[in-house]
Structure 1
Amino acid sequence: MAGQFEIFTDAESNVRFRLLAADGTVLAVSRAFDDKRQAANGIMAVRECAGTGLIRVVRSNPWTGQHASRNASPSPASHRRRHLPAV
């Protein structure tokens, strides 16, 4: 059985959706939407992007939220992104 999306209303009365695995494990929870139609559009966007989305590993710095760089202006080579294949 494939996973499924559930649209629900959270404790603050916002509409959200969650992606569940076949065993019921919550894999992802969306941002808040104003109504069910917007949540459904969000699900459609996830469906469209998920199959072709690349995986990117991001290192974060707890102070800035970004990877710290030693150089004030990093070279273009340091901005190369490594994309991992979806499994």
Structure 2
Amino acid sequence: MAGKFQLYKDKAGEFRFKLMASNGQIIATSEGYKSKASAMNGIESVKTNAPGAALDDQTLEKK
């Protein structure tokens, strides 16, 4: 089973989403969005941009 996005409203009434792994663990969480449409656009952006995302490892020592 593939991962899934979980869309929900927080206590402040904002829309948020979580990206969940197939084992139920949370992989990523979103910021709060004022509208459901904006949250859905955020999900589509993750789907489009994440597969080719580069890693910026901030833990590496600067030389």
Q: CA deviation at 1:51?
A: 0.4
Structure 1 CA distance for aligned equivalents of residues 18 and 35 of structure 2: 15
**Corresponding residue for residue 28 of structure 2:** 28
Tell me which of the two structures has the higher relative contact order, counting C-alpha pairs closer than 8 angstroms and 6 or more residues apart.
Answer: 2
Normalization by structure 1: what TM-score? Answer: 0.65
Misfit runs of 4+, over 2 Å: none
Structure 2 portions without partners, runs of 5+ = none
More helix as a share of residues: 2
Higher gyration radius (CA)? 1
Report what 1:17 is aligned to.
Answer: 17
Identical pairs, percent:
31
Per-residue CA deviations over 1:26-82 (Å, capped at 9, x if unaligned) read 1111000011111010000001111000111114xxxxxxxxx8xxxxxxxx7xxxx
- Is the partner of 1:55 in helix, strand or coil? coil
Q: Distance in 2 between matches of 1:41 and 1:5?
A: 12
Number of positions where the alignment pairs a residue of Structure 1 with one of Structure 2? 62
TM-score by length of 2: 0.88
Partner of 1:65: none
Gaps of 5+ in 1: 60-68, 70-77, 79-87
